[in-house]
Amino acid sequence: MRINAHCHVFNFKTFLTDAAKAILVARLNRGGLSKPFAELIANYIEKRLDRATDNRQALGELQDMINTRRRGGLYLWEFLRLGFLPDIAAVTDDLLAKTRDLLDDPQEDGVVTALMMDVISEKESKDDTLFFDQYRQTVEQALRHPGRVLPFVAFNPNRTGRPAGENGLEIVETALKSGACVGVKLYPSLAEHGPAAPGMEDLFALCDAYHAPIVMHCNCGGFAASKATALRCHPGDWKPLLKKYSNVRLDFAHFADEDIFTDPRSAPYRWRVMLLDMIKDPELGGRVYGDVSYQDEPLARAAVRRAYFERLKGYLNDKSLSRNILWGTDYYMIYLSRSNSEYWDMFKYELGDLFAVIAEANPCRFLGLTGDDGKMAANMHRHVTFLSRMQGSPLWEAGSPQAAWLQAALGKMPPPSPAP
């Protein structure tokens, strides 16, 4: 089994709110496109994005525009192609097909997380409801590909205090309690969403009660609204909540990619150094993780890339760190710089036998598939129970047969009670 612990499967129809559009322009601009061209692409997407229909017809004109401008190339084209797919099922099928092609053994299971994103502003807007469609479709993928797609529900503090049915904490609790989702996705840099943000401590309390892991964006880029909001991802700021809520496992995604806000001569204050210290910290009980998804260093020039992998191999040979590093590509955001397959192959080649450590043993522990005691964690047990109840759904195995680990887990469940 190989586990990609950092993936996204939403499409533009279920993700591109007005707030997300503004951040996407900034992200494309940082990726090397001029601001006017980035705005042109985002405006074109919005103009052509008829959320009620299949919008793939827009792709031909968009491709002509990219080719004429000679910017972005095939990677940007693939990012846009995936975003324009008609539904989340199509994106998920693409991800799992590409994952199967990357496995050494065709009989091996490829498992992916499906990290949702909820990009909204404090002021309510009509497109805030896009997330509900994203949530429904993402959970459906867990039925279409049982045991191969593990949904993580997004929490945005801007939904705290909203009415029933729209309240962020209520959405998270329903997702975790039902077993539809196995964990939570946080994106502090979308706004001022640090540990003191409304509802954040309540969110940690929920994850503590349900033994649910959290994947948190942790670098200075991505979809950060600004340099100021990017600082909300600083690992050290989250230590008090982690210490208080001892059942929470937290993955600082992108391995706290080298930040641009601190003096590089002040090594102890760099984000990655802070993350490594937290992984080692006995007070945090081995519950801090970092995933290697979509980072700048492995995509940089040869000397930087070599140095990066030498350090990473050093971490993986250090017993105090090796158990807490996770594999991930950040599909399909990775296409803003490189292809999913190229990123996978590079890590597999550079790490050799160590790749299995980050792509199987460690994510199994983080996700709760198996703990040090050999038992499944409560969050995954609820997910298995959820899937057991849904076996009669028309969506069941509509995309691919259930994963071997799930088949084994379902086989251990007691038979349902007979109807009275």
Q: Which pLDDT band, with edges at 50, 70 and 90, does 18 fall under? A: confident
Q: What is the pLDDT of residue 225?
A: 52
Q: How far apart are CA 14 and CA 138, in angstroms?
A: 10
Q: Is the pLDDT of residue 407 over 80?
A: yes
Structure tokens given for 331? 């599909």
- Regarding predicted confidence, which is higher, 195 or 417? 195
Count of helix runs (H) and strand runs (E) in the chain: 18, 8
Q: How far apart are CA 162 and CA 168, in angstroms?
A: 8
Q: Which residues of 302-340 are buried (b: 16+ CB within 10 A; e: fewer)?
A: eeeeeebbeebeebbeeeebbbbbbbbbbbbbbbbbebb
Q: Across-strand partners of 214?
A: 184, 250
Q: Is the pLDDT of residue 32 over 80?
A: no
Q: Which pLDDT band, with edges at 50, 70 and 90, does 164 fall under? A: confident
Q: Is the pLDDT of residue 402 over 70?
A: yes
* 99-106 CB contacts, 8 Å cutoff, 24+ apart: 99/2, 99/4, 101/341, 102/2, 102/341, 102/344, 102/345, 102/348, 103/2
Q: What is the pLDDT of residue 379?
A: 98
Q: Which pLDDT band, with edges at 50, 70 and 90, does 420 fall under? A: very low
The domain locations on the chain are 2-10+91-367, 12-80
> Average pLDDT over the chain, rounded to whole?
87
Contact 328, 291 (CB under 8 A): yes
Q: How far apart are CA 142 and CA 395, in angstroms?
A: 9
Q: Considering the chain, what percentage of its residues have pLDDT values greater than 90?
A: 60
Q: Considering the chain, what percentage of its residues have pLDDT values greater than 70?
A: 82
Please list the alpha-helical segments (H only) found in 73-115.
Answer: 73-83, 88-102
Least confident interval from 64-73, 82-91, 131-140, 275-284: 64-73
Residue range 183-240, pLDDT digits in tens: 999 988 776 678 999 999 999 999 999 999 999 988 776 655 556 666 667 888 999 9
Q: Is the pLDDT of residue 51 over 80?
A: no
Q: Is the pLDDT of residue 23 over 90?
A: no
Structure tokens given for 14? 């279920």
Between strands 2-4 and 149-154, the pairing is: unpaired
Q: What is the pLDDT of residue 33?
A: 61
Contact 18, 147 (CB under 8 A): no
DSSP letter at 288 equals E
Mean pLDDT of 3-7: 98
DSSP letter at 162 equals P
* 68-77 CB contacts, 8 Å cutoff, 24+ apart: 69/37, 71/32, 71/33, 71/34, 71/37, 72/32, 72/33, 75/335, 75/336, 75/337, 75/338, 75/339, 76/335, 76/336
Q: Which residues of 152-185 are buried (b: 16+ CB within 10 A; e: fewer)?
A: bbbbbbbbbeeeeeebbbebbbebbeebbbbbbb
Residue range 94-138, pLDDT digits in tens: 999 999 999 988 889 999 999 999 988 888 888 889 999 999 999
Q: What is the pLDDT of residue 165?
A: 84
Q: Is the pLDDT of residue 70 over 70?
A: no
Q: How far apart are CA 373 and CA 29, in angstroms?
A: 47
CATH of domain 2-10+91-367: 3.20.20.140
- Regarding predicted confidence, which is higher, 265 or 334? 334
- Picking from 291, 289, 268, 262, the residue whose alpha carbon sits closest to that of residue 278 is 289
Helix, strand, coil percent content, the chain, rounded in steps of 5 = 55, 10, 40
Mean pLDDT of 286-314: 93
